[in-house]
């Protein structure tokens, strides 16, 4: 089996330090993986039995092109996750459709006036609906500053999400649960990105068992998500009243924390091998 490990030639992919570990595990499962940049025009995707989206992290600035690419690739080979999932999942508007508890969000679409009906919160997070790695995302206690950032993003034609800052990300932390083929693999506690402390390789993540309520919610979220996912990452935070809620369901190009759990790379590879046979 020949599989494209979809990355990019953009410097963003230099952050991908789990590529070799994934490719080694794939090889152990009989899969010959090759890193390929998603926008390399010389690639014939039908040369591969499948393409797996991994560190294609420059798609953020060219989402429409990326979604069109995904559909094109899918007409030539199998794509994981599927193009329809990528189209749905690259815009956080999907959070409104899942029917599960999420971080309270004030949505602003084109034509909205951000200053008018912004709720009163102690601290705001303002982020675009299409983003990754907290790109173009701010945290502020100043309601006017929150409205101004929202207005600037709207002016660029983007959908905007305004949320209360959830302080538990700095104590308990954000919990990411990793799944392969719908099977739970492992979970990690994440570094708080808007805390003012820079993320490093050392503080990025710690392996952690989910609490029962977090596990139950993650299972509910996966049941509400599209089927047949090679990988899924469910990112949860706890509200001040203790309720776990979804902050992001990453089905497009999640970092998988393969270095944090010894068994994870093989589970990833075995799941891919199974899906390629099926």
* Residue 250 bears catalytic tag: yes
- Site for ligand ADP contains 55 (CB under 6 A): no
Beta strand residue intervals within 20-68, DSSP E:
32-37, 50-53
CA angle 25, 30, 32 (to 5 degrees): 80
Which residues neighbour 166 within 8 Å (Cβ) at sequence distance 6 or greater? 103, 237, 238, 239, 240, 247
Determine the interface stretch with Mg ion among 18-26, 42-50, 222-230, 244-252 (rule: CB under 5 A).
Answer: 244-252
Q: Indicate the angle between helix axes 19-28 and 264-277, nearest 10 degrees.
A: 50
How far apart are CB 272 and ligand ADP at their closest, in Å? 24
Applying CB under 6 A, which of residues 7, 37, 163, 214 lies at the interface with ligand ADP?
163
Cα–Cα dist 110/197, whole Å: 33
Applying CB under 6 A, which of residues 134, 141, 145, 207 lies at the interface with ligand ADP?
134
Q: For the window 196-235, what string marks contact with ligand ADP as x by the rule CB under 6 A?
A: ---------------------------------------x
Catalytic residue, chosen from 74, 172, 199, 250, is 250
Cα–Cα dist 168/13, whole Å: 30
Maximal CA-CA distance, the chain: 58
Determine the interface stretch with ligand ADP among 48-56, 188-196, 198-206, 260-268 (rule: CB under 6 A).
Answer: 188-196
Cα–Cα dist 18/186, whole Å: 15
* Residue 204 bears catalytic tag: yes
8 binds, among ligand ADP, Mg ion, none (CB under 5 to 8 A by kind): none
Which residue of this chain has its Cβ atom nearest to ligand ADP in the complex? 193
Catalytic residue, chosen from 87, 233, 238, 253, is 233
Complex with ligand ADP: residue 72 or 135, whichever CB lies closer:
135
For residue 4, the cross-strand partners are 34, 51
- Active-site residue set: 204, 233, 250
């Amino acid at each position: 089996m020949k599989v494209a490990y979809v990355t990019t030639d953009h410097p963003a992919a230099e952050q991908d330090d789990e590529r070799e570990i994934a490719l080694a595990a794939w090889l152990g499962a009989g899969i010959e993986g090759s890193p390929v940049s998603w926008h390399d025009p010389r690639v014939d995707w039908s040369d591969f039995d499948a393409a797996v989206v991994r560190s294609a992290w420059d798609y953020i600035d060219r989402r429409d092109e990326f979604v069109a690419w995904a559909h094109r690739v899918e007409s030539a080979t199998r794509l994981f996750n599927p193009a329809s999932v990528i189209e749905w999942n690259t815009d956080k508007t999907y959070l409104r459709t899942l029917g599960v508890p999420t971080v309270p969000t004030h949505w602003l679409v084109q034509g909205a006036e951000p200053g008018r009906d912004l709720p009163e919160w102690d601290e705001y997070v303002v982020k675009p609906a299409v983003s990754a790695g907290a790109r173009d995302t701010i945290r502020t206690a100043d309601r006017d500053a929150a409205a101004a950032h929202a207005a600037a993003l709207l002016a660029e034609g983007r959908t905007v999400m305004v949320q209360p800052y959830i302080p538990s990300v700095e104590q308990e932390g954000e919990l990411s649960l990793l799944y392969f083929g719908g099977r739970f693999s492992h979970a990690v506690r994440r570094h708080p990105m808007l805390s003012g402390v820079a993320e490093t390789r050392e503080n990025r993540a710690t392996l952690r068992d989910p609490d029962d309520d977090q596990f139950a919610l993650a299972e509910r979220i996966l049941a509400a998500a599209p089927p047949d996912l090679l990988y899924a990452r469910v990112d949860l935070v706890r509200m001040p009243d203790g309720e776990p809620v979804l902050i992001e369901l990453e089905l497009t190009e999640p970092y998988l924390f393969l270095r944090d759990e010894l068994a994870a790379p093989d589970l990833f590879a075995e799941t891919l091998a199974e899906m390629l046979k099926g």
